[in-house]
């Protein structure tokens, strides 16, 4: 199958800026998301672990520093090399990762309330969260509409092109829903609290139904064409992002509903957190098993390291926070211990990816532009490999 052009508009880059300017795409913000969720999930665990609070505060500070550094570097990149910066939005894969910056903002903002208010002070933490949530929500609404529109009208894709990255631009509204729930207690008027509550539920629906469509396309691609056997395989874990984040959002909104609406409606929202959350959690566990099997299979064949490995962190982290919400709403010990096990897995994944990213960045590997002539990975299957080997 011939490779289709990545986009209809070709941006010509000045030759003088190619070798000197760093390749800093929006996918870098996934590192902020993956680091911030380690702090947020740890602070939410239904366990009292000595030293965990201090660890979460240090990790949040690290995530905040990473966010500031990336924002400065992004502005610098747009000023010094606008053509290169604009080219990310026309790339068949990179363009979808413009959903990462809004989620990075909201992850750090939520951490200000969950983790950092002990040393920032409640007032500063709330104000910081409001600013980052507002910026992230506006940015997320833009990506949720603009990136799919460009996918529908400009970017040429093959039948096997659907991958986890397609979820990135539509997940931010779900992050807005879950992190917005944390701000409901800090709205002074009842009308303001109820408005924010219903806005969060609307954002929930906006993201959830779009995500379900894309997850179906990814399942269809895997069934018809197989996996890509490349560094794109970790993006399969992004599917856990909207699943875990939706469970988290339903739980947090159900918890805060009594502050904004009448008791019968608030009670129904609390019930919805369970009736919605438990079935979705079950599918998340099924997808985790499938994604793990495909990841191990690809690693055995030599899966190269790339920034896509950060897909092992944030999606797993929000699945942990979703599991925590189920533990709080149901009181079932299974979810408490599952959240602890998931957090241990998150810590291992984050540690490995963080170290690898640090080493690769120092070597300059992750800051190089794609090799000339590089194309979108092609999906393929092993057709009855055992029968072939024995033939």
Rounded to whole angstroms, the Cα distance separating 327 from 361 reads 39
Confirm if 291 and 236 have CB atoms less than 8 A apart.
Answer: yes
**How far lies 220's CA from each of 86, 213, 377, in Å?**
31, 11, 17
Residue 322 lies in a domain: yes
Query: Which range of residues forms the domain containing residue 101?
Result: 23-366
Confirm if 378 and 160 have CB atoms less than 8 A apart.
Answer: yes
Q: Of 250, 246, 254, which Cα lies nearest the Cα of 211?
A: 246
Please list, in sequence order, all residues whose beta carbon lies within 8 angstroms of the beta carbon of residue 52, skipping any fewer than 6 positions away: 42, 43, 45
CATH of the domain at 29: 1.50.10.150
**pLDDT at residue 210 in the model:** 98
User: What is the pLDDT tens value at each position of the chain, 391 positions in all?
Assistant: 333 333 333 344 444 444 445 678 899 999 999 999 999 999 999 999 999 999 999 999 999 999 999 999 999 988 888 888 888 888 888 999 999 999 999 999 999 999 999 999 999 999 999 999 999 999 999 999 999 999 999 888 888 889 999 999 999 999 999 999 999 999 999 999 999 999 999 999 999 999 999 999 999 999 999 887 777 899 999 999 999 999 999 999 999 999 999 999 999 999 999 999 999 999 999 999 999 999 999 999 888 899 999 999 999 999 999 999 999 999 999 999 999 999 999 999 999 999 999 999 998 888 776 655 455 677 777 755 554 444 4
Question: Mapping DSSP to helix (H, G, I), strand (E, B) and coil, where does residue 219 land?
Answer: helix
* CA triple 36-310-212, angle to 5 deg: 90
Confirm if 91 and 146 have CB atoms less than 8 A apart.
Answer: no
* pLDDT tens readout for residues 4-40: 333 333 344 444 444 445 678 899 999 999 999 999 9
* pLDDT tens readout for residues 220-255: 999 999 887 777 899 999 999 999 999 999 999 999
Rounded to whole angstroms, the Cα distance separating 313 from 311 reads 5
**How far lies 245's CA from each of 41, 249, 250, 251, 315, in Å?**
12, 6, 9, 10, 8
Rounded to whole angstroms, the Cα distance separating 16 from 204 reads 45
Which residues partner with 380 through β-bridges? 227
**pLDDT at residue 371 in the model:** 57
Residue 373 lies in a domain: no
Residue 240 lies in a domain: yes
Q: Of 148, 160, 150, which Cα lies nearest the Cα of 3?
A: 160
Residue 234 lies in a domain: yes
Residue showing tokens 């965990």:
52
- Torsion on CA atoms 167, 279, 285, 203, rounded to nearest 10: 20
Which residues partner with 227 through β-bridges? 380
Please list, in sequence order, all residues whose beta carbon lies within 8 angstroms of the beta carbon of residue 213, skipping any fewer than 6 positions away: none
**pLDDT at residue 10 in the model:** 38
Rounded to whole angstroms, the Cα distance separating 226 from 153 reads 26
Neighbour count for residue 344 (Cβ, 10 Å): 11
Neighbour count for residue 109 (Cβ, 10 Å): 28
Residue 1 lies in a domain: no
Residue 4 lies in a domain: no
pTM here?
0.90
- Torsion on CA atoms 309, 312, 314, 317, rounded to nearest 10: -160
**pLDDT at residue 28 in the model:** 95
Residue 384 lies in a domain: no
Rounded to whole angstroms, the Cα distance separating 57 from 130 reads 19
Residue 359 lies in a domain: yes
Rounded to whole angstroms, the Cα distance separating 164 from 233 reads 9
How many structural domains comprise the chain? Answer: 1
Helix, strand, coil content of the chain in percent (nearest 5): 75, 0, 25
């Amino acid at each position: 199958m011939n490779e289709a052009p990545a986009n209809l508009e070709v941006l010509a880059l000045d030759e003088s800026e190619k070798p000197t300017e760093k390749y800093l795409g929006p996918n870098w913000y996934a590192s902020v998301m993956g680091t911030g969720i380690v702090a947020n999930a740890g602070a939410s665990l239904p366990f009292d672990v000595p030293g965990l609070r201090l660890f979460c505060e240090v990790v949040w500070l690290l995530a905040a520093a990473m966010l500031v550094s990336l924002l400065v570097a992004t502005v610098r990149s747009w000023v010094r090399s606008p053509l290169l910066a604009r080219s990310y939005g026309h790339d068949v894969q990179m363009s979808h990762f413009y959903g990462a910056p809004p989620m990075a903002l909201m992850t750090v903002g939520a951490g200000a309330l969950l983790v950092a208010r002990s040393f920032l002070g409640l007032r500063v933490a709330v104000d910081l969260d409001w600013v980052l949530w507002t910026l992230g929500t506006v940015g997320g609404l833009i990506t949720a509409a603009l990136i799919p529109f460009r996918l529908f009208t400009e970017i040429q894709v093959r039948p096997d092109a659907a991958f986890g990255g397609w979820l990135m631009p539509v997940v931010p509204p779900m992050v807005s829903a879950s992190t917005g729930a944390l701000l409901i207690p800090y709205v002074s008027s009842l009308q303001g609290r109820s408005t924010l509550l219903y806005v969060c539920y609307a954002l929930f629906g906006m993201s959830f139904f779009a995500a379900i469509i894309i997850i179906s396309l990814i399942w269809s691609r895997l069934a018809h064409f197989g996996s890509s056997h490349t560094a794109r395989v970790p993006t399969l874990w992004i599917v856990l992002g909207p699943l875990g984040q939706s469970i988290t959002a339903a739980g947090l909104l159900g918890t805060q509903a009594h502050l904004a609406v009448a008791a019968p409606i608030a009670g129904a929202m609390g019930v919805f957190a369970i009736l919605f959350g438990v079935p979705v959690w079950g599918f998340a566990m099924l997808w985790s098993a499938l994604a793990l099997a495909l990841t191990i299979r690809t690693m055995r064949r030599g899966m190269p390291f790339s920034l896509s490995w950060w897909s092992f962190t944030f999606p797993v982290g929000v699945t942990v926070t979703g599991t925590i919400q189920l533990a709080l709403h149901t009181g079932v010990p299974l979810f408490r211990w599952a959240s602890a096990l998931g957090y241990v897995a998150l810590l291992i994944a984050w540690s490995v990816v963080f170290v690898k990213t640090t080493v690769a960045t120092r070597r300059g590997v992750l800051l190089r532009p794609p090799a000339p002539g590089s194309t979108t990975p092609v999906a393929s299957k092993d057709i009855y490999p055992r029968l072939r080997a024995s033939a």
